[in-house]
Amino acid sequence: MLALPNFPLFHIFFLLPGLARTLSRDPGIILRQDQVDFQHKGVIDLSLQRDTFSPEPLTKRDGTKYVFMHHVRIISVRSHSFFPIFRSLTKLLPLRRHVNSPLIASFNDAHFWCTRRYPYVYNNWLSDVQQISAMGVDAVALNIGSDTWQWDRVVDAYNAAAASGTGLKMFISFDYTSFVCDNGYATTNWTNYFAKYPAQFTVNGKPMISTYGGGYDCLGVANWKTVKANTNGYLMPFFWDSENTFKTDWAFLDSWYCWGCAWPQGDWDKNITDDQYYIQQVGAGRYATTVSGWFFTHLSSKNFYLRGDDWLIINRWDQLFQLRDQLTFVEMVTWNDYGESNYFGPFGGAQPAGTYWAQNYPHTAWISLSKYYITAYKTGAYPTITQDVVYWWSRPHPALVTATGDSLGRPNGYNWADDYLWAAAFCSSTCTVTLTLGSSTQTFSNLAYGVNKLKLPLAVGTVGIKMVKGSTTVINASPTGFSVVATPSQYNYNVFVGAETATIAVTGTSSSISTSTTSSTSATATSSSTSFTSVGCIAEGTTGTRRALTGANYTNSAMTPAKCQSFCSSYTYAGTEYSTQCYCGNSITNNGATGSVVASSNCNSKCVGDSSQSCGGSYYLNLYSKSGSSSSSTISVTSITTGTSRSTTSTSTSPSTSKSSTSTTSSSSTAASATASFSYVGCVAEGTTGTRRALTGANYTASSMTPAKCQTFCAGYVYSGTEYR
C-alpha cells in the first residue's frame, strides 16, 4: 500500500457495477479493482479518498540504468498500426525532418485491429520471465487493452515474476488505442491494484505507469494529473501529440519515451538525431527511448517495411551507449509482436490469419547478442568477449523481385532494403571468418578482437559460416531451415536470425586490426611501419551514404585512433567516428563531404578503447591522413561512383568472389601497403543526406577502436577517420 496522508478511507463491497459508474463521476474518488474492471460485472473492492494533495517532486536519475522489454497482449490482442490514428508521422518524429517522407502519405490515419488468439498460461509467463531476465532486462512492460480476460493474464505475469526468483519486475503499459479513455479511473484502478504486488517495478517507491498513446486525444492533461496524484505513480508515457508541450502542459511527467525512435523513418541508417531532438524537447533526465532489430508487416491495413539494414540492432545499441549519460530507461521493442516482425522471443503459436512471415523466422539469436550490449549500456563498459560466435541474419528473397502469388503487392519501403546477409563476428582474439550464401562467398581475414560487422551480397541458396583461429577451425556451420529463393510466392521482408558458436576454444590475445569487416569484399590490409597524422574534425557528406571515406569500415567496442589507423594501413585516410567506428578511404567522396576542418567540439565522442582520445561524433570524423597527403586544412574532394542512395559495399584489396551484379563498389583502386603516415586534420562533420558518410572508400567497426587502428586499416587511402567511439 502507498503511504498517504491521513484521510478518511473506507471499503464498500457490492455487486452493482452501475453504482461504480455513478461514483466514478466524482473526480476525487479512487476506485480500486479487486477482480475485474469497474465497467464489468463483478465484485469491487472500492476505496474512497479525497485528492487534496500533490506528490512531492521526484528525483529523476541516480546514475542507475534500466532496460525494459515490451510484451504485447496475449489472446484476443487488438493489434494496431505502428502509427495509430496519427494525422502524420510527424507526430512521432521531428516535423522538420520527416514532413516529406513517402511513408507519411501512405499511413495518414492508419488504424488496424485484429484478433490474435493462442494459448498463454502461467507456465508461458514463467518461461518468458526466465529468458528475459537472463538477458539483463530489469522489467517487462505489459501492453494492456480493454479486453476483460487480460486481468487474469496480468495476474499470472506478476505472480510468475515473483515466483521465478529472478528479480525481474513488471509494469503496465496502457495501450489507449484499445484501453478505455475515461477520466483516468480505470488507469488508476489497474495501477493501484498491481502496485501492491512484489513484482511491481517502481522508481523511488513510485509504481511505473507507461502508455502507448493516451495524451490530448484520450485522458488529457487534467486527468493525467489526477492519475498521478491518486496513484503516486511515476509517469513514463508515449504520447504522440505532445511535441513542444513537454515543458508546459506536460511538465509534470517524470519521463517520456519515444516508441518510434528504434527505427529509421526513411531511406537512411538510424542515427541519434531524433533522440537529440527529443532530449532537447523533454529536458535533461526525462527522455527514454527504444531499441529494436527489425520492422515489417504485410496486411491490407498496414503493409510496410522500415530499414533494419546496416546492422540496425548493433548500431542502435552503440548509439544508446553513446547517449547513456543522458538516459535512464531503454525499452526493447518487442518480445512477441510477431505481426510486425520486431520480436526477440520465440515464436508463440497461432497468429492472426495471414501473418505467415514470422513463422519459421526465429529472432532468438538476438537475445544473447543484446545481452552483450545491455551489459555495456548498464555498466558503461563493453564486456570482455570470451566466446567466439558469428551472428547473422538475412531476408529470404531479393528486395526488387515480384512475388508470384501475393495480392497485396510489395510493402511500402521495399526499395529501402539492401540485398545483403548481415553478420557480426564476436572474436575473442584474432580470427578469420568466411561467409557463404549460395554462390556468394567471402573471407574476412585477420579480424580483430571485438565485434566485427560483416556483410555478404545476397544470392540464391543456403548459408555457410566458418571461423578459423590460427590453423584451427572453430566454427564450420551449415545452418538449416533457411535459404534464399529467387522468386517467392509471397513477399517476406522479415529476417531469419541465426548464431553459430565456436565448439573449440582457442586461447589467444587480441592483436592489431588489419582487416575490413564490413565490406562485402575482402579488405585485407598488410601491416606497415607508416604512420598517420591528424587532419582534424571533419563533417561527413550530405547525400547518398554520407560517408566521406568509403574504402572500408569496421566497428570495435574498444576503438582507439591507433586501432583504426592500423586497420586502415593500406589506405591514405583513416577516420574514427561515434566512439566505436573506423572508416578508411583514398579520397573524400563527392557526396557533400568537403573535408573542411570544423570545430573540434563536433568530435565529442570519446573512444571506447581510450577515453582520453576523441573518436569523432555523430556524422563527424576525427580524420587522419598519411604524412604528406594533405598540405592544408581543406582536403580535395574526389568523385566516386556508388550507383545507389547508400554505400552498399566497401572498397577491397582483393576481388570479390560474389556476383558483381549484386555488388556496388567505389571506384577507388585496390589499396596497397604504403609507407606514408597520417596526420591529424581535426573533427569534421559527416554529411546530411543518404548515409551521411564523408569517407566512403572503406570502413570497419571494432570494439577496441583507436585512431591508430583506423589509420592502419586505411593505409591505402588518403584519409582515415574515427567516429562514434
Query: Domain ranges in the chain?
Result: 1-53, 67-306+321-369, 382-501, 532-724
Q: Can you give the pLDDT at residue 157?
A: 95
User: Does residue 208 or residue 602 have the better pLDDT?
Assistant: 208
Give CA separation, 307 vs 39, 68, 418, 419, in Å.
Answer: 42, 23, 9, 12
Q: Is the pLDDT of residue 90 over 80?
A: no
Residue type, 148: T
Q: Can you give the pLDDT at residue 543?
A: 74
Q: Can you give the pLDDT at residue 349?
A: 62
Answer yes or no: are the C-beta atoms of 104 and 142 closer than 8 Å. no
Q: Return the SS3 of 194.
A: helix
Task: For residues 223 and 219, give the distance between their C-alpha atoms in angstroms, rounded to a whole number.
Answer: 6
Q: Is the pLDDT of residue 650 over 50?
A: no
Q: Can you give the pLDDT at residue 691?
A: 56
Angle at 126 between CA 125 and CA 130, to 5 degrees: 115
Q: Can you give the pLDDT at residue 710?
A: 83
Give CA separation, 625 vs 56, 227, 293, 517, in Å.
Answer: 56, 59, 35, 21
Lowest mean pLDDT among 64-68, 312-316, 375-379: 64-68
Confidence of residue 355 (pLDDT cuts 50, 70, 90): confident
Candidates 622, 619, 595, 593; CA nearest to 606 is: 622
Residues 6+ apart with CB under 8 A from 422: 309, 310, 311, 392, 393, 394, 453, 454, 455
What is the average pLDDT score of the chain? 77
Q: Which residues lie across from 692 on neighbouring strands?
A: 545
CATH architecture observed for domain 67-306+321-369 = Alpha-Beta Barrel (3.20)
The secondary structure element, H or E, covering residue 463 is: strand 463-469
pLDDT tens digits for range 165-183: 999 999 999 999 999 999 9
Task: For residues 283 and 703, give the distance between their C-alpha atoms in angstroms, rounded to a whole number.
Answer: 31
Q: Can you give the pLDDT at residue 387?
A: 95
Answer yes or no: are the C-beta atoms of 514 and 569 closer than 8 Å. yes
Q: Is the pLDDT of residue 618 over 60?
A: yes
Task: For residues 539 and 620, give the distance between their C-alpha atoms in angstroms, rounded to a whole number.
Answer: 5
Q: What is the dihedral of CA 19, 25, 30, 32, to 10 degrees?
A: 40
Angle between helices 220-231 and 185-194 (to 10 degrees): 20
pLDDT tens digits for range 541-562: 877 667 889 877 777 777 899 9
**Percent of the chain scoring above 70 in pLDDT:** 71
- What is the pTM for the complete model shown? 0.65
Confidence of residue 224 (pLDDT cuts 50, 70, 90): very high
Burial 357-391 (b: 16+ CB within 10 A, else e): bbeebbbebbbbbbebbbbbbbeeebeebeebbbb
Per residue, the 3-state secondary structure of 257-287, as one string, reads: ECHHHHCCCCCCCCCCHHHHHHHHHHCCCCE
Burial 116-134 (b: 16+ CB within 10 A, else e): beeebeeebbbebbebbbe
Ranges of H-type helices in 513-574: 562-567
Q: Is the pLDDT of residue 49 over 90?
A: no
Q: Can you give the pLDDT at residue 171?
A: 97
Confidence of residue 108 (pLDDT cuts 50, 70, 90): very low
Confidence of residue 338 (pLDDT cuts 50, 70, 90): very high
Average pLDDT score over residue span 353-361 = 87
Confidence of residue 304 (pLDDT cuts 50, 70, 90): very high
User: Does residue 347 or residue 53 have the better pLDDT?
Assistant: 347
Lowest mean pLDDT among 226-230, 247-251, 352-356: 352-356
Cell numbers that stand for 544 in this block = 547518398
Ranges of H-type helices in 354-441: 365-379
DSSP-derived secondary structure letter, 545? B
Q: Can you give the pLDDT at residue 15?
A: 28
Q: What is the dihedral of CA 340, 345, 347, 353, to 10 degrees?
A: -20
Q: Is the pLDDT of residue 499 over 50?
A: yes
Task: For residues 44 and 15, give the distance between their C-alpha atoms in angstroms, rounded to a whole number.
Answer: 7
Q: Can you give the pLDDT at residue 545?
A: 67
User: Does residue 704 or residue 548 have the better pLDDT?
Assistant: 548
Omega of the bond leading into 334 within 30 degrees of 0 (cis):
yes
Average pLDDT score over residue span 65-86 = 57
Q: Can you give the pLDDT at residue 12?
A: 25
Give CA separation, 197 vs 1, 32, 142, 192, 233, in Å.
Answer: 9, 14, 14, 10, 14
Residue 497: Cβ-neighbour burial (10 angstroms; 0-12, 13-18, 19+): buried
Determine how β-strand 552-559 pairs with β-strand 698-705: parallel
Q: Can you give the pLDDT at residue 168?
A: 97
If phi over 0 gives left and psi between -120 and 50 gives alpha, with beta otherwise, what is residue 244?
A: left
Determine how β-strand 573-585 pairs with β-strand 552-559: antiparallel
Q: What is the dihedral of CA 237, 242, 246, 247, to 10 degrees?
A: -150
Answer yes or no: are the C-beta atoms of 552 and 569 closer than 8 Å. no
pLDDT tens digits for range 124-176: 999 999 999 999 999 999 999 988 888 999 999 999 999 999 999 999 999 99
Task: For residues 166 and 156, give the distance between their C-alpha atoms in angstroms, rounded to a whole number.
Answer: 16
Residue recorded with cell 529509421: 264
- The CATH class that applies to domain 382-501 reads mainly beta
R_g (Cα) of the chain, nearest Å: 26
Average pLDDT score over residue span 183-191 = 96
Q: Is the pLDDT of residue 48 over 90?
A: no
